[in-house]
Amino acid sequence: MNPPRAAFPAIAIAIAATCVLSLAACNANLSEPITATAPAPMKPAMASDADLLARGEYLVRITGCNDCHTAGYTEKAGDVPTSDWLLGSPLGYSGPWGTTYAANLRLRFAEMDEAEWMTWSATLRTRPIMPDFALRAMHDDDRRAIYRFIRSLGPAGSKAPEYLPPGSAPPPPFLQLVLPPAARAGAASGG
C-alpha cells in the first residue's frame, strides 16, 4: 500500500487523455517549446577566422616568438604594440653554431602562402637558438593561427642581419653562449 505512487499513473493518464481530447492544442504546444529549448548547434570542428586570429596573437605572445623576433620586447616586459611585433632583431646569438639573428617574420610570412607555411613549419629545422622543436610539436590549428595572425600584421621593417659562420666575430649587440667542450660538437651541428 503506497498511496503517493499509485497517484502517478492516474496523473499520467489524465494528461494523455487531455492531449487526445484536444489534439490540435497538444501539437501546437509541443512544437514551440521543443525548438526553444533545443541545444545550441555544435561548434564546427574548424576554428573560425576570428578565433584563429585571436589564438595566433595569444600564441605569439605566450610562446616566446616576440622575446627573440621583436627587438626590445623583453627589455620592455612585453609592452610593445602589436604593430611593432616580429620585425626581427639585430641581437646576435653567438655560439659554436656561429651567430644567428631572429628573422623579420613579417617579411618572411609575406613571401609564402598558408599551405607553404603549414608544410614548412611542420618539419622546420633552423640553427640555434630558435626553438624549432616547439613549432614542430604544435597542433596544425596552432601553426595555422600563428600564420593568420602574422599575415594580418602585414609586411614591415627590414631584414635581420645575415647569419655569420663559426669563427667570424659578430659586432655588438650579441649574446654569447659558452659551452663546456663536450657539448660543443653537438651544438655546432644545430638543433
Residues lying near ligand HEC in the complex (CB under 6 A): 63-65, 67-69, 93, 100-103, 105, 108, 126-127, 129-131, 134-135, 146, 163
CB of 155 to ligand HEC, least distance (A): 13
Distance of CA 22 to the CA centre of its chain: 57
Return the number of the residue (12 or 175) whose C-beta is nearest ligand HEC.
175
> With contact defined as beta carbons under 8 Å apart, do 161 and 92 qualify?
yes
**By C-alpha distance, which of 156, 149, 175, 153 is closest to 63?**
149
Please name every residue paired with 164 in a beta bridge, in sequence order, or none if there are none: 99
> With contact defined as beta carbons under 8 Å apart, do 148 and 52 qualify?
yes
Return the number of the residue (26 or 118) whose C-beta is nearest ligand HEC.
118
CB of 31 to ligand HEC, least distance (A): 52
Return the number of the residue (7 or 78) whose C-beta is nearest ligand HEC.
78
